[in-house]
Chain A
């Protein structure tokens, strides 16, 4: 217990400004003046927890403790700090502990007992107040702690006073054995002023003298101590009076009584008031205990007192009580009389007004000009802040309605848009407890955020509470390895290499992940796992504070970024007004999915403008849009992408010939993305789930359009016209809509129920269907215009089968010959008749799906002639109708067959023999004879009881005329139309589908329908209106798409193939052969999409990050070269790879 005396610093060492010799003056901060005052009192121990506006007290000690020999620590929290300072005092070391006002409340337990035990060496508690809540959630009045806990409270009004008072406070504390609270407010803490220093004193440590009954407040001792307190306060009062706790300036019967910062305001105003004033200014420098005797003595001489104090009417009430006790009838004015505001910091205007109104001093302040309306500029997370990236990752992983609870620190800046990660906030550590409490009563899985310093401060007990109660929540620790908000103080986790993860695990948390938030895709994946887990999950997002890091390592090179305007905000389709309309978060999800596939797979070149698949799609579908939404699990959004251009999603996802997959850049690396399977997955996954109609039809425009022919082209045109606000009547020769989809494509490929859902959606959009109405027979073009239609869309298709007369057809026993369409229609009609007699709809669906319609062929051998999809459809249908054997013969070589490869393969798998390169020659009894197309080689005799010819169809155009003129035709005998609009030679008559030249596919026909609807709208209402729903682009050069496929180099990753039905059930029933991908398969497959096209619906970098370095200039997104500090997170966020590095330099601030 030897007394320790520290040496004053050597004169030769570079001197800290606060360690210069006494008598010097300097311009220092109020907080620094406090530190100097403590040093002049020989302080030996200093500690605290940083909190604005107190932080520079602890920061200054941190800086100079090594040089001066003061023992210092940033304590883990305020309670510990207070206890440490108390212990130091007991051990004979003058101690000072600093914190912000509300920090002292968290040390309430020790604070309330320390006065009982009493201190040994002087102990000063700096509790910095924050009137007007400049940087705090409340503006509590610390002065009340004086009477409440028997603690002397000193209230400085200037920096000089702060210095002098601190020095005195140690003497006071030691004399009365009570800790002394020094209560500077932010105005004093953060004003820098000329201050005169006194002499420094070396610090002394007396040592701890054992005396258990003196230091142990068990009730027996505590009762004795309670009475001792009264003696201590008496000592304090006497010393305060001697010191001059009440300082009086000037003379007069009117008095201004002030304390703290407002006392300085009063002094300045009265000094500058014009003319001599008969007003005295009394400054109460100690607000507890009050020097009552001195006050009463003075009060007897005056008539009126204006009390000028911020926050509460503490002094006003105390003075009123004193007057009442002493029978003084004096006017007491202030807050209670309405002369001064009840809340917030007092500006000179407030005080000037009160001096004028209450005491007639000076003039009332002149009228204040109102501030200009200027866009607010609240503090935001810095560029390169890891918290921003962590919030982005969390927002991408959780649903939009996820509840987030947050805490005190930089991460509070997640409040408000765009990050929106603060639903409630209270105090240090409550980020976890709020999340836990809400979770316990609502059962919802909540998210709580707090920082590393806060975790050690009070987050650990909060987390352990959640562990022990098995709370269903995700606790996120944002570890930037420094206490950044209050000025980059050392965090406990960096001072000591305590691993937060090890602490979390030791507390009993099993699901813990530590991620670098700058690795966005990885961080999102971690948050997703936490979202899907049960019970308590912890995610630690670890990334050094960029500002602190740069100060520590100024030499470190920084890569800055710029925006490549050629790639920013374009999708190649926006010139036509096409924007997908997805929300920023969806766009962000797309960006992340894109980042995931490109980062982990090292795409070696930048993508094309428009993705090749979209270029080739007859509907210009944004395939990467829905693929990336699937990868992100946003199925509704994926569906909206599909529905925005597809009237028949259920049909198209089953029968599309998928030109997109031909040009997919993945084709060479594991196979093209299974685009149609993805579409089918979404359609199936979201079936009946979407709550709102999408797209929503525009209001009726009063015009009528007749669409003739209810196949894919006609249905598509009708739907698009209805969405545009037209009243549409859809005519068809048959009794129900669908065309080929309804009566030619077999239901093992396209179940009727699926088609019916598509048609229902179209009819719900307001399309009226009139069946059994054939063009030429029941209606004519002229007749339709006479009926008042404003335009007509023709889509009657290619209804007539091409004929082939075969020799020997009349021979006895020769096989029966039919044509494909007639055959397929008959099967469909029979199936329809059969099922329409059933009662329940469910039964119908099951029946259609499972049972073969009544056999027409029965057993026997069938041969199909033709190499297209219709031929395959017929062959596979014949099999399902019960044929013993089916074979197919076509003129094309295998690789030239027009049928889809998987259809051919499917047919073979079902046992259908395919003979290529042959043409039919003649029929014989029980057989058809074919010969090689080359003419060389033997005849091929195929046993047959039935032959179906599937050699193509052509449109019926004879007699098609309008207003006396036939519609113009091409050389090929098809209708001649404008390929952009489908406009025919006749005014207001449009056409598409198989009537005209072009792709002879279902999807191709749908593209025609959409373009036709646009063409009609353009014609009837003009471009501006028509472009509200833009049509798909015409097919562009496939070569460009293929070039991109060549240019990309990505490691192979195998395509997910859909499952197929097997065995007898497949071969003999109409159950759908192709199965839907599972969710896991679909997500994996969607993840293979490189999103290689640009995305035009994009201000993602602005909308989701809120990074201050990203700004708009003349409508363009740019990056501020001075503000950018090169984190590169926005490069991951950008779906277009439009943010690129610029230069290497040092971004020193």
Chain B
């Protein structure tokens, strides 16, 4: 299964805020790749990210030894608009993937009495660099499913649904299950399905076929 014709070597970049589940998402992607029989390196340079700081992770599929990005990632998952802006210089015109538009206001912004920048303006800037990125209001979708803490799983569902990954939605969901606590399994399943459904609606509206899922 190829994603966008790029073969099995694929670089993914995830960016978000500590607490949004970025690290868990990277782990799940690593597990899924492993289940699919792909060599994978996942970079989790998390530092103090658990305390609401910026956090990025890389997932490098196919034969590399290091977790560094070399060149723009093939796939990007932005968990938050400002964090997407922070990594925007790493992205490129060919980068596909998702940006969740639900914002998490940095404490520094609130403290100085400044407002979060306009979402339209941010999306415009993001698309100027990476026009193929799709946007979705992840937190709102997750909230609608009654699982506001499952944003990361929802984004994974959406990513799988869009066909951006070299493994099936089933393999990915298997990896999700492995990393979930039993009590959050139901929430996560709903969130994963909501992500898949969102992707299906996207491809229906844009006419772009969902390649698997």
Contacts and interface: CB of A to CB of B under 8 A. Distances in A.
Interface stretch (A109-117, A186-194, A1055-1063): A186-194
CB-CB nearest 5 A-B residue pairs: A379-B53, A379-B51, A264-B65, A192-B42, A27-B34
Contact of A134 (B26, B45, B110, B113): B45
Interface stretch (B79-87, B153-161, B163-171, B191-199): B79-87
A390 interface: no
B64 A379 contact: no
Q: Which label, helix, strand, loop or mixed, suits the secondary structure of the A interface?
A: loop
A370 B90 CA distance: 9
B212 interface: no
A885 interface: no
B104 A1123 contact: yes
Contact of B47 (A52, A191, A267): A52
24 contacts: A52-B47, A134-B47, A190-B43, A191-B42, A193-B41, A268-B66, A269-B70, A348-B66, A348-B68, A348-B69, A371-B89, A372-B125, A374-B86, A375-B106, A377-B52, A379-B49, A413-B51, A554-B181, A1099-B113, A1106-B111, A1108-B107, A1111-B116, A1148-B183, A1148-B184
A734 to B, nearest CB: 51
A376 B106 contact: yes
Interface in A325-380: 347-348, 368-372, 374-380
A475 B110 CA distance: 32
A1102 B110 CA distance: 7
Interface string B7-32: 00000000001110000001100110
B176 interface: no
A381 B17 CA distance: 13
Q: Which of B17, B44, B110, B115 has the most CB of A within 10 A?
A: B110
A267 B65 CA distance: 8
Interface in A1079-1135: 1099, 1102-1103, 1106-1108, 1110-1115, 1120-1123
A265 interface: yes
Given A1103-B111, A1112-B110, A1149-B19, A194 B39 contact: yes
A261 interface: yes
Contacts of A371: 86, 88-89
A914 B125 CA distance: 85
How big is the A interface, by class? 35 or more
A372 B49 CA distance: 20
A159 B105 CA distance: 36
A377 B82 contact: yes
B105 A191 contact: no
A1066 B114 CA distance: 60
B135 interface: no
B89 A370 contact: yes
Interface residues of B, number: 59
Contacts of B47: 52, 134-135, 379
B98 interface: no
A27 B40 contact: yes
A1149 B149 contact: yes
B33 A27 contact: yes
Contacts of B139: 1122
A157 B107 contact: no
Contacts of B104: 1108, 1120, 1123
Contact of B46 (A27, A190, A377, A1149): A190
Q: Which of B44, B53, B107 has the most CB of A within 10 A?
A: B107
Given A135-B48, A374-B85, 12 more contacts: A135-B47, A191-B44, A267-B65, A268-B65, A371-B86, A372-B85, A377-B106, A554-B181, A1102-B113, A1112-B113, A1122-B139, A1148-B183
Nearest to B27: A192
B202 interface: no
A59 to B, nearest CB: 14
A380 B53 contact: yes
A267 B70 CA distance: 13
Interface of B: 17-19, 26-27, 30-31, 33-34, 38-54, 64-70, 82-83, 85-86, 88-90, 104-111, 113-116, 125, 139, 148-149, 181, 183-184
Given A374-B82, A375-B82, A1148 B149 contact: yes
Q: Which of A159, A191, A261, A1115 has the most CB of B within 10 A?
A: A191
Contacts of B68: 265, 268, 347-348
Nearest to A56: B44
A191 B41 contact: yes
A158 interface: yes
Contacts of A265: 65-66, 68
Contacts of A1149: 19, 149
A192 B51 contact: no
Interface of A: 25-27, 29, 52, 134-135, 157-159, 186-187, 190-194, 261, 264-265, 267-269, 272, 347-348, 368-372, 374-382, 410, 413, 417-418, 485, 547, 554, 1099, 1102-1103, 1106-1108, 1110-1115, 1120-1123, 1148-1149
A190 B113 contact: no
Nearest to A1103: B111
A1148 B180 CA distance: 12
B99 to A, nearest CB: 14
Contacts of B107: 377, 380, 1106-1108
Contacts of B105: 1111-1112, 1120
Nearest to B32: A27
Nearest to A412: B48
A378 B111 contact: no
Contact of B43 (A191, A379, A381): A191
A135 B44 CA distance: 13
Nearest to A381: B51
A375 B66 contact: no
A378 B42 CA distance: 23
Contact of B149 (A194, A374, A1114, A1122): A1122
Contacts of A1108: 52, 104, 107
Nearest to B86: A374
A382 B52 contact: yes
Nearest to A262: B66
Given A192-B44, A348-B70, A1112-B110, A377 B30 contact: no
A372 B86 contact: yes
Contacts of B33: 27
B177 to A, nearest CB: 14
B44 A29 contact: yes
Contacts of B181: 554
B10 to A, nearest CB: 14
Contacts of B108: 375-378
B17 A268 contact: no
A135 B55 CA distance: 13
A413 B18 CA distance: 14
Given A190-B45, A374-B82, A1106-B107, A268 B64 contact: yes
A371 B54 CA distance: 14
A697 to B, nearest CB: 28
